[in-house]
Structure 1
Amino acid sequence: MHKSGAVMAWNVFKFCRALRGLGSTTILLVLGIVGLTYYAVVINTYWPGLEAGRPEALLSLAVLILFHCLLAMLLWSYFSVVYTEPGIVPPNWRPKVDEERGDTDPLTATEFSADLKNRRIRFCRKCNQLKPPRCHHCSVCGRCVLKMDHHCLWVVNCVGALNYKYFLLFLFYTFLETSLVTLSLLPHFILFFTDDDIPGTLGTLATTFLAFVLNLAFSLSILGFLIMHVSLVTSNTTTIEAYEKTTPKWRYDLGRKRNFEQVFGTDKRYWFIPAYSEEDLRWIPALQGLEYPLKPDLDVQEL
């Protein structure tokens, strides 16, 4: 019985590692949806409306400008998540302070060995290395990730300390873009059911219909996902930590303003782009994924 359970666990992790093979496929799928939407909105619907003398020329211009601006930010955020390392544990990393006890002094060799034995300092048996605070092992990537939130197949990467902001911006701009597409194609979608003589070929009509349905579905699903992550940011919690928390007094909850700054930084000029100012990277250790200040009024014994 024990042996079969071990085999089952091994098969599960084998499947997780196999998910890495979907990488190029999911990227192509995302680009395919973007291409389909671009054809339906720009080439097939609103670009022809720019012709001189048409009454809808001003509306077409406004839709096209907004569509391309949101698309540029969406793709910038998306590929920033894809190609940014989520945060890996530095070689031979050792804790400088005992986060669990709130101790600010460096650990002695004796204290370090005792805390490791008592599991106050976490150790990853798969990576054979120590795990910093808020670090978790990803079975898909096969490595430990700093402040890991989850592994996302859509971005073919883990979402962690160094790319979480980029992931949130990807959700934000995707929601705005899909909502814009849904609203701009809604009148044409209604024509499918109210007008028997719709202009256009069967292929263009099918493309418009499919683009509307896909973008409506994505906008509704991403809205729920976005709301969930906004609540996580305001409480300074990751998706994994939300399921693991056993106490209502979360040690890393510093208040909404400081929690927000630990993800987006303090420089407002960088809040809506997938980048950080050099000053924020220098003065906010949480953006590096290794050091996180604790809630000041939290009783050490409650940790």
Structure 2
Amino acid sequence: MYRSGVVMAWNVFKFCTALRGLGSIMILLVLGVVGVTYYAVVLCNYGPALTAGGFDSLVAVLILIVFHALLAMLLWSYFSVVFTDPGGVPPNYRPLIDQERGEMDPLEASESVPLATPDSTHTRIRYCRKCNQLKPPRCHHCSVCGRCVLKMDHHCVWVVNCVGALNYKYFLLFLFYTFLETTVVTAALLPRFIVFFSDEEIPGSPSTLATTFFAFVLNLAFALSVFGFLIMHISLVAANTTTIEAYEKKTTARWRYDLGRKRNFEQVFGTVKSYWFIPAYSDEDLRRMPALQGLEYPTKPDFDTQEF
């Protein structure tokens, strides 16, 4: 029995190590998909159409403008997720006593320990036995990164990083712009794709036609899959929860961090509208919204743990 447990733990460790090694491979894969798409849309189809004149040139200009604008936002958002630390527990972290007094979540109770204070009978905090440190609210340990991550949502192999408090907005924008870009590309290449199954003579070299066909299928697949993923995360933002929390609290009647859709949205995107669609926060929001730093989160004023 002991031996099987050791083998299972070793296999999990091996799996986590393999995920860490995917880093540069996944980034190159993403850039490869972007490169194939760019070649098909710009170099093979709509770039040459610019010299055709008339209505075809106008359509080509519009498609290329939208394509490049969305591509720029997609790449900006993607590399913001990749290179932004999702948030780690600060050294010598100590939680605020008034945030803990009598407000322990049922899904956090199993990993909490008494706090050595004069009123320790009513004050409990969370503790990570892997990192040997205290855990802020909504913080979880990532086995791939080997550390605790603030408001961890999940570890994403596509961005080679954890998605947490400090880069969750950037991840959502990456999904959003990926969906828009792949939808635009699918629509732009659809007429060329239809020609493949018609009796019309198809202009272009075999390599050009093959690239166009492949880019259409690839972008259609990404558009459909990302759409489902985007809808799921929109529902999570609306409820002010994460993927991990949604799974852990599925039997919980109420959620202490659900402040209403508007405030829940602001907990991720901030209050300054001009920053909602770019992977950045205003200095004003960073100063007055502690939730964006990942350590403190407002709760319902009428929340009563005795209901659970």
For normalisation by structure 2, the TM-score amounts to 0.92
Quote the residue 2:110 is aligned against: none
Residues 269-290 of structure 1: CA distance to partner in whole angstroms, max 9, x if unpaired?
0000000000100111100000
- Which of 108, 126, 137 matches 1:122? 126
Quote the residue 2:21 is aligned against: 21
SS class of match (1:93): coil
Tell me how far apart the structure 2 counterparts of residues 63 and 222 of structure 1 sit (CA, whole Å). Answer: 21
Quote the residue 1:279 is aligned against: 284
Is the alpha carbon distance of 1:160 and 1:115 closer, same or farther for their aligned partners in structure 2, counting shifts above 3 Å? farther
Equivalent positions of 1:29-68 (< 5 A) are 29-51=29-51, 53-68=53-68
1:167 partnered with 2:157: no
1:183 partnered with 2:191: no
Deviation at 1:115, TM superposition (A): 6.8
- Higher deviation after alignment, 90-99 or 174-183: 90-99
1:242 partnered with 2:246: yes
Tell me how far apart the structure 2 counterparts of residues 28 and 100 of structure 1 sit (CA, whole Å). Answer: 48
**Which AA in structure 1 matches 2:100?**
E
Conservation of the 8 A alpha-carbon contact between 2:101 and 2:122: no
Equivalent positions of 1:2-13 (< 5 A) are 2-13=2-13
Count of matched residue positions in the alignment of Structure 1 and Structure 2: 296
SS class of match (1:144): strand
**Which AA in structure 1 matches 2:146?**
G
SS class of match (1:176): helix
- Which of 196, 203, 208 matches 2:207? 203
1:143 partnered with 2:147: yes
Is the alpha carbon distance of 1:48 and 1:125 closer, same or farther for their aligned partners in structure 2, counting shifts above 3 Å? same
**Which AA in structure 1 matches 2:117?**
A
Tell me how far apart the structure 2 counterparts of residues 68 and 189 of structure 1 sit (CA, whole Å). Answer: 21
What do you get for the CA RMSD once the two structures are aligned?
A: 1.6
- Which of 215, 223, 233 matches 1:229? 233
Tell me how far apart the structure 2 counterparts of residues 210 and 199 of structure 1 sit (CA, whole Å). Answer: 16
Quote the residue 2:102 is aligned against: 101
Tell me how far apart the structure 2 counterparts of residues 7 and 36 of structure 1 sit (CA, whole Å). Answer: 42
Deviation at 1:83, TM superposition (A): 0.2
Extract unaligned runs of 5+ from structure 1.
none
Is the alpha carbon distance of 1:11 and 1:136 closer, same or farther for their aligned partners in structure 2, counting shifts above 3 Å? same
**Which AA in structure 2 matches 1:249?**
R
Deviation at 1:214, TM superposition (A): 0.4
Conservation of the 8 A alpha-carbon contact between 1:17 and 1:139: no
SS class of match (1:55): helix
Conservation of the 8 A alpha-carbon contact between 1:17 and 1:142: no
Tell me how far apart the structure 1 counterparts of residues 119 and 150 of structure 2 sit (CA, whole Å). Answer: 24
Residues 25-53 of structure 1: CA distance to partner in whole angstroms, max 9, x if unpaired?
00000000000000000110001111153
Conservation of the 8 A alpha-carbon contact between 1:99 and 1:133: no
Quote the residue 1:292 is aligned against: 297
Q: Report runs of 4+ in structure 1 exceeding 4 Å deviation.
A: none
Deviation at 1:54, TM superposition (A): 4.1
Tell me how far apart the structure 2 counterparts of residues 28 and 213 of structure 1 sit (CA, whole Å). Answer: 20
For normalisation by structure 1, the TM-score amounts to 0.94
Is the alpha carbon distance of 1:71 and 1:249 closer, same or farther for their aligned partners in structure 2, counting shifts above 3 Å? same
Quote the residue 2:107 is aligned against: none
Tell me how far apart the structure 1 counterparts of residues 133 and 119 of structure 2 sit (CA, whole Å). Answer: 18
Quote the residue 1:88 is aligned against: 88
